[in-house]
Homo-oligomer: A and B are copies of this chain.
């Protein structure tokens, strides 16, 4: 995660100050529960809340950690400086560092999910807007990079919408999966801390108690979380590859936003580079690369080892910050991207009428011409278009055999674009309801 590809809102989640605040809340709520259970005096639980509005001093905690060599103890020591040594003496009782660290991590991942959910919703809004706007903007569909049959630009945006909408559902689902907390003490047996403490803390933090933890929360949850981010990143790559293709000099059916005649533009007006979408192609790789280590993290030794920790310290901020930045950048690109409908028509008509050749072939066979003959009739005219860029319809109209089979009107009718767009409404209804 580097500043260039970061947004404050997500970066804040991973700041030490945020982490300490969450640790504080976990400890304070745990004290409440313990007091209620009669395990610690109520007044000590109450005292902890004195620090409610404290901004914890990160530098001071670091200073203590330099001595104690233990981050949670350093924090607790600092907390005692605010609450009073004596009042704070029951804080963390029966708990382990992992109770605090793992529950905190999941709070952070849930918050990160909430931001990413909002990001996806914004992206969906932009995609929907552009889809509706260009619902009927005809362009040629391409398979293998080669012209196939007509489609519309709206359908392109609509399929990106549908794909990202699935990603939204996946993200919401994995947000639930990752939204667990554990306050189960050493080895997760609750020997020193009552399960009701866990229940209370989780409820207060909007989490579900982890049904069975082993000091740590099981890492299959985190693996699933990063896997979903990896799928979202891959879908993002799918979208930006389309835009990069659209912006190629020879294609130029769309482009990242620029003001065409703007003062101060480059001396080479054709040199508008799709650098944002190229950048997003790279960012997709960065998010995706976190999936395998997250999966490698699942197998811990016995009840826990700490091999997962250095990985998560890195990939949890990196993947969420990068994806947050990327989704916002992508939304901006979609929202403002330039669409060139005339170029779409020009491209489609590079070989005039040729995209209709399959339909003519089908019509000929339906009109009773044998498959072989039909094929030959189409081919001899299509080749002229391919070689001399003449108009396919005109060639057909000048071909007596074809006219005999389909009639003049029959031929003309085959070049009706609405044939290809007649189900756009159906598809839009499926996608947007």
Contact = CB atoms under 8 A, between A and B. Distances in A.
Contacts of A424: 189
A299 interface: yes
A204 interface: no
A143 B290 contact: no
B248 A145 contact: yes
Contacts of A358: 186, 192, 267-268
A237 interface: yes
Interface stretch (A41-49, A161-169, A400-408): A161-169
B244 A148 contact: no
Given A146-B273, A235-B220, A354-B268, A310 B286 contact: yes
Contact of A295 (B162, B234, B301, B383): B234
A143 B292 contact: no
Interface string A288-313: 11111101111111111111111101
Interface-central residue, A149, A382, A383, by most chain B CB under 10 Å:
A149
Given A163-B218, A189-B155, A302 B141 contact: yes
A201 interface: no
A17 interface: no
Contacts of A251: 248, 250
Contact of A151 (B170, B189, B279): B189
Interface in A124-150: 141-150
B430 A212 contact: yes
The 8 closest A-B pairs by CB, nearest first: A141-B187, A282-B310, A144-B273, A269-B386, A234-B298, A142-B302, A227-B227, A281-B307
Given A141-B303, A244-B305, 20 more contacts: A1-B314, A94-B362, A144-B301, A144-B306, A145-B273, A147-B249, A166-B221, A191-B419, A191-B422, A192-B362, A238-B298, A238-B300, A241-B299, A244-B301, A250-B250, A267-B361, A267-B382, A278-B305, A281-B307, A286-B311
